[in-house]
């Protein structure tokens, strides 16, 4: 019904008696308010003035219109999703959110860029003012931050901190220091550096470093970050082959390690692998990731399936963003 008809019939004059109206009368009001807001592009305040009610009342009416099905909001995301895998994995694991990107069978560089775009859109939807975001490092994280940096710059006062010490990465842009700075600048926020390597020579050096005032402050912020953003590494892929010695890899494999996140290695069941690396590592603990409100894991490729499965079983992540090939391989292992 048109706004003029509702005015003529007296519905708007009696909007304060909305709760006493019949279902059909309410339907008329809700349709009018929704039309003014979604099609007429009026603000909630403008609608409130127009129908002689409060803005909060208009907000409640719009919410009711969505709940009753008068308004359906469909977001056309710029990528195709594998909804079957998403549903099956939500049934299997305690996930807050999952996105499985459909592979287009293009080259790996293009696929990784698209996965970074998917993750960037999600991160953009959950970032709020004054939130603390903890980040790790690597190629996948670089793709995400790179896409956010290319989007419209924002003015959201956030703080970005590393969740682990720096590593010897092949590309300096993939290091945690650069990633923390670039992500913070993209959102118009600030960042903190963790001036420490991921692994030190012995436990005594680690104990000394984590007591240093600045390092302690940044680690405390990272442990209590509301959002953490990371990928998982695959032991099979040995993406840290330039970082750990061959004998260390052999020890990890002999203990059943399949993946690592934030510098922590774990097996297919999500149990942390205990080695001397833990006593020499500077970064947040797995328990901190489990406690995090939104621990986001982004991973690409079938080779990451074991690592993702272990992370899910260990409950290290609650938001998962992967591609179709990774999801397919992971589901095979559950059969």
Q: What is the pLDDT of residue 269?
A: 96
CA distances from 225 to 35, 65, 179, 294, 318 (A): 40, 36, 16, 9, 14
Q: Tens digits of per-residue pLDDT, 140-197?
A: 899 899 888 877 677 889 999 999 998 765 555 577 788 999 999 999 999 999 999 8
Alpha helices in 229-315, H assignment, sequence order: 246-254, 276-280, 286-291, 305-313
CA distance 314 to 78: 31
**More confidently predicted of 165 and 12:** 165
Give mean pLDDT, residues 24-49. 84
Copy the structure tokens of residue 70: 């008068």
**Bridge partners for 319 per DSSP:** 97, 296
CA distance 309 to 314: 9
Mean pLDDT (the chain, rounded): 86
Copy the structure tokens of residue 199: 């692994």
CA distance 201 to 296: 30
Copy the structure tokens of residue 53: 């009610």
Q: What is the pLDDT of residue 230?
A: 95
**Bridge partners for 133 per DSSP:** 160, 227
Q: Give Cβ neighbours of residue 141 (< 8 Å, ≥ 6 apart).
A: 135, 174, 179, 229, 230, 231, 298
Q: Tens digits of per-residue pLDDT, 236-251?
A: 877 676 677 888 888 8
Q: Tens digits of per-residue pLDDT, 278-329?
A: 889 999 999 999 999 999 999 999 999 999 999 999 999 999 999 999 999 9
């Amino acid at each position: 019904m048109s706004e003029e008809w509702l005015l003529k019939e007296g519905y708007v004059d009696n909007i304060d008696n909305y709760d006493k109206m019949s279902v059909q009368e309410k339907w008329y009001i809700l349709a009018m308010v929704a039309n003014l807001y979604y099609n007429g592009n009026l603000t909630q305040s403008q609608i409130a003035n127009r129908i002689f009610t409060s803005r909060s009342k208009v907000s409640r009416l719009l919410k009711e219109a969505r709940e009753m099905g008068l308004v359906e909001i469909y977001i056309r995301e710029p990528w195709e999703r594998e909804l079957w895998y998403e549903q099956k994995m939500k049934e299997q694991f305690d996930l807050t959110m999952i996105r499985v990107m459909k592979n287009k069978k293009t080259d790996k560089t293009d696929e990784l860029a698209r996965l970074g775009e998917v993750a960037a859109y999600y991160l953009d939807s959950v970032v709020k003012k004054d939130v603390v975001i903890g980040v790790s490092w690597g190629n996948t994280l670089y793709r995400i931050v790179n896409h956010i940096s290319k989007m419209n710059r924002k003015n959201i006062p956030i703080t970005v901190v590393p969740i682990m010490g720096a590593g010897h990465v092949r590309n300096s842009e993939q290091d945690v220091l650069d990633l923390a700075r670039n992500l913070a600048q993209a959102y118009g926020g600030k960042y903190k550096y963790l001036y420490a390597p991921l692994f030190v020579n012995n436990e005594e050096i680690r104990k000394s470093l984590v007591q240093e005032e600045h390092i302690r402050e940044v680690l405390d912020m990272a442990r209590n970050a509301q959002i953490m953003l990371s990928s998982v590494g695959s032991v099979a892929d040995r993406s840290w082959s330039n970082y750990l010695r061959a004998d260390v890899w052999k020890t990890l494999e002999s203990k059943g390690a399949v993946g690592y996140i934030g510098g922590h290695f774990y097996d297919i069941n999500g149990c942390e692998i205990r080695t001397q690396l833990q006593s020499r590592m500077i970064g947040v603990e797995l328990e901190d990731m489990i406690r995090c409100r939104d621990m986001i894991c982004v991973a690409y490729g079938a080779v990451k399936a074991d690592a993702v499965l272990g992370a899910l079983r260990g409950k290290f992540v609650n938001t998962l963003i992967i591609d179709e090939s990774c999801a397919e391989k992971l589901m095979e292992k559950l059969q």
